[in-house]
């Protein structure tokens, strides 16, 4: 598929790119501990020896992945005027990520997902969030911020990272897509459920398998590759989606374009945690798309990247050095 000399120039090309990420940000908090006994009060484990850690999550994890690959992320989102919002800004500063695209809204909560983990076993997750759409005024301010950033130029692609937390309304999706089309900027989408059918005239649309089944009301297994491909090709034609890429967890990735499909099986790995794999896939896909790779090549590199982060506990960004080694080992 690739020539042995392609990857050095490809990964250098990544470092010359600037990607705008628009979507729901959050704090991923981890409580790491040990389980040695069951509670006498209820049949639940007691976790002791707690160590707490907070990381950037959601669309902010996409920004981390873009940065990890050497490119420049421009993160656009809304956080609350609360204590968690302040923590989010501190985490952003620690990672040397710009807050130029962020707006603080005192009427909203900053989303936080808290996971309790023992011996790599995910025991419980607690979500604190607000998922209604932004107020009309905040939507106007947000669109103005995005428009100004795009007017400054230099954006190579836009990623909509949708977690159904309310940042991406149909109005924002349509207006940003229109601006991008006028400026000939590719748009990539990692959809969720609420806005699944809102995305039209998109360069690359990347649902996971569960989102695809629910969005298209399908009854298929991950093994039914041809049936999945046919459904994707039909949906593409109806919604003007140039490339459609479906992540199939341990089965790999399927990509459709120009009426045909390519299936990329996943490499065998020791899977620890699949959290954040979709963020990594859409991030690397955007860089590959901007670099001019064909759909099958985009899927191949993104597939390796998504699998890599599943080897780690918790949400972590891709390791560019490991990825280029794996590209050389498995894609030549």
Kindly report, residue by residue over 147-166, the tens digit of the pLDDT: 999 998 899 999 999 999 99
> Residue by residue, what is the 3-state secondary structure of 248-294?
CHHHCEEEEECCEEEEECCCCCCCCCCCCHHHHHHHHHHHHHHCCCC
Q: Choose the weakest-confidence range: 31-35, 248-252, 309-313, 322-326.
A: 309-313
Report the CATH number that the domain containing residue 137 is assigned in CATH. 3.40.1190.20
Tell me the mean pLDDT in the region 134-153. Answer: 95
Whether 39 maps to a domain, the answer reads no
Whether 123 maps to a domain, the answer reads no
| pLDDT level of residue 310 (50, 70, 90 thresholds) | confident
Whether 38 maps to a domain, the answer reads no
Q: What is the pLDDT of residue 268?
A: 79
Whether 41 maps to a domain, the answer reads no
| 83 pLDDT higher than 80 | yes
Instruction: Show the domain range for 20.
Output: 6-26+57-107+131-330
Whether 203 maps to a domain, the answer reads yes
Q: What is the pLDDT of residue 270?
A: 75
Whether 48 maps to a domain, the answer reads no
Whether 126 maps to a domain, the answer reads no
pLDDT in tens, 2-13: 765 589 999 999
Write down the pTM of the prediction.
0.95
Whether 45 maps to a domain, the answer reads no
pLDDT in tens, 103-134: 999 999 999 999 999 887 889 999 999 999 99
Distance, CA of 192 to CA of 197 (rounded, Å): 10
Decide if 136 is catalytic: no
Tell me the mean pLDDT in the region 284-303. Answer: 96
Q: Between the CA of residue 60 and those of 64, 74, 75, 124, 269, what are the distances in Å?
A: 6, 10, 7, 22, 26
**Six-digit token string for 296:** 């099958």
Asked if residue 247 lies in contact with residue 239, where contact means CB atoms within 8 angstroms, the answer is no
Distance, CA of 314 to CA of 275 (rounded, Å): 6
Distance, CA of 278 to CA of 271 (rounded, Å): 14
Number of domains comprising the chain: 1
Task: Single out the catalytic residue among 156, 190, 273, 279.
Answer: 279
For 26-72, the DSSP string reads EEEEEEEEEEEEE-SSSSSEEEEEEEEEEEEEEHHHHHHHHHHTT-E
More reliable by pLDDT, 5 or 85:
85
Q: What percent of the chain has pLDDT over 90?
A: 84
């Amino acid at each position: 598929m690739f020539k042995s000399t392609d990857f050095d120039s490809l990964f250098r090309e990544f470092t010359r790119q600037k990607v705008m990420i628009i979507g729901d940000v959050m704090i991923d908090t981890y409580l790491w501990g040990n389980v040695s006994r069951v509670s006498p009060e209820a049949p639940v484990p007691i976790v002791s020896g707690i160590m707490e850690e907070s990381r950037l999550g959601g669309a902010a994890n996409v920004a981390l992945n873009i940065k990890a690959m050497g490119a420049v992320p421009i993160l656009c989102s809304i956080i609350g005027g609360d204590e968690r919002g302040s923590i989010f800004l501190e985490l952003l500063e620690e990672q040397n990520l710009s807050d130029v695209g962020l707006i603080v809204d005192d009427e909203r909560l900053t989303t936080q997902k808290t996971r309790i983990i023992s011996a790599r076993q995910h025991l419980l997750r607690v979500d604190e969030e607000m998922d209604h759409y932004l107020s009309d005024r905040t939507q106007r301010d947000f669109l103005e911020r995005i428009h100004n950033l795009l007017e400054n130029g230099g954006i190579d692609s836009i990623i909509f990272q949708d977690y159904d937390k309310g940042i991406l309304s149909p109005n924002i999706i349509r207006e940003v897509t229109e601006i991008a089309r006028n400026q000939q900027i590719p748009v990539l989408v990692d959809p969720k459920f609420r806005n699944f059918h809102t995305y039209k005239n998109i360069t690359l649309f990347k649902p996971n398998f569960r989102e695809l089944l629910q969005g298209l009301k399908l009854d298929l297994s991950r093994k039914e590759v041809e049936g999945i491909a046919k459904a994707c090709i039909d949906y593409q034609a109806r919604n003007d989606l140039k490339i459609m890429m479906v992540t199939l967890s341990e089965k790999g990735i399927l990509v459709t374009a120009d009426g045909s499909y390519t299936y990329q099986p996943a490499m065998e790995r020791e899977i620890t945690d699949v959290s954040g794999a979709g963020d990594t896939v859409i991030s690397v896909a955007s860089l590959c798309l901007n670099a001019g790779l064909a759909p099958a090549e985009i899927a191949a590199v993104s597939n390796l990247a998504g699998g890599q982060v599943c080897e780690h506990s918790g949400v972590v960004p891709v390791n560019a050095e490991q990825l280029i080694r794996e590209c050389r080992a498995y894609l030549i």
